[in-house]
């Protein structure tokens, strides 16, 4: 089941049923099913606190993914800072909706086993994001 929550921010305008179906299709493309995936939309301050407490990182980020995947079924908690999504959309010259979709699927790709630590891994992740965005009907 895919769930959507907020932590002291307003829920972004997303088409939950469509996004959930898209997530399942992307996971399926990687040969995986979808178990319990929770999206927690939050502020920069909240994600910074999570980054400090659980990862010992002292910086802001757009997404933190906690992976609970077992065998062929992805599961996890995905924290997304809506503040950083907005600033990144402006920085990259894309719509807020497009950047939010990219970050939403970025977390799923992590659960599918795609990393982004090295330049080579980042290239694979970017390709995966672009392919996944192409699967979402109505994405600009």
pLDDT at residue 122 tops 90 = yes
Sketch the domain layout of the chain as residue ranges: 2-135
Per DSSP (E only), the strands in the chain are 2-7, 33-42, 63-67, 73-81
Give per-residue burial for 92-124: e unless 16+ CB within 10 Å, then b.
Answer: eeeeebebbbbbbbbbbbbbbebebeeeeeeee
102 closest CA partner among 91, 115, 89: 89
- Render pLDDT for 24-79 as a digit per residue (tens, 0 to 9): 999 999 999 999 999 999 999 999 999 999 999 999 999 999 999 999 999 999 99
Distance CA 137, CA 81 (A): 24
From the list 54, 72, 67, 70, the residue with the least C-alpha distance to 111 is 67
CA–CA dist 133, 19 (Å, integer):
11
Query: Looking at domain 2-135, what is its CATH homologous superfamily?
Result: Metalloproteases ("zincins"), catalytic domain (3.40.390.30)
- Mean pLDDT of the 97-123 span: 96
């Amino acid at each position: 089941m895919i769930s959507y929550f907020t932590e002291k921010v307003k829920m972004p305008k997303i088409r939950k049923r469509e996004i959930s179906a898209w997530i399942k299709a992307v996971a399926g493309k990687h040969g995986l099913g979808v178990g319990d995936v929770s999206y927690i939309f939050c502020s920069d301050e909240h994600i910074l606190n999570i980054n400090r407490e659980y990862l010992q990182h002292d910086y802001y980020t757009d997404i933190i993914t906690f992976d609970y995947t077992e065998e062929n079924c992805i599961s996890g908690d995905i924290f997304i800072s809506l503040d950083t999504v907005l600033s990144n959309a402006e920085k990259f010259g894309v719509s807020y909706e497009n950047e939010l979709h990219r970050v939403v699927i970025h977390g799923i790709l992590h659960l599918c086993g795609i990393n982004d630590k090295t330049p080579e891994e980042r290239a694979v992740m970017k390709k995966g994001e672009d392919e996944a965005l192409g699967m979402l009907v109505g994405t600009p």
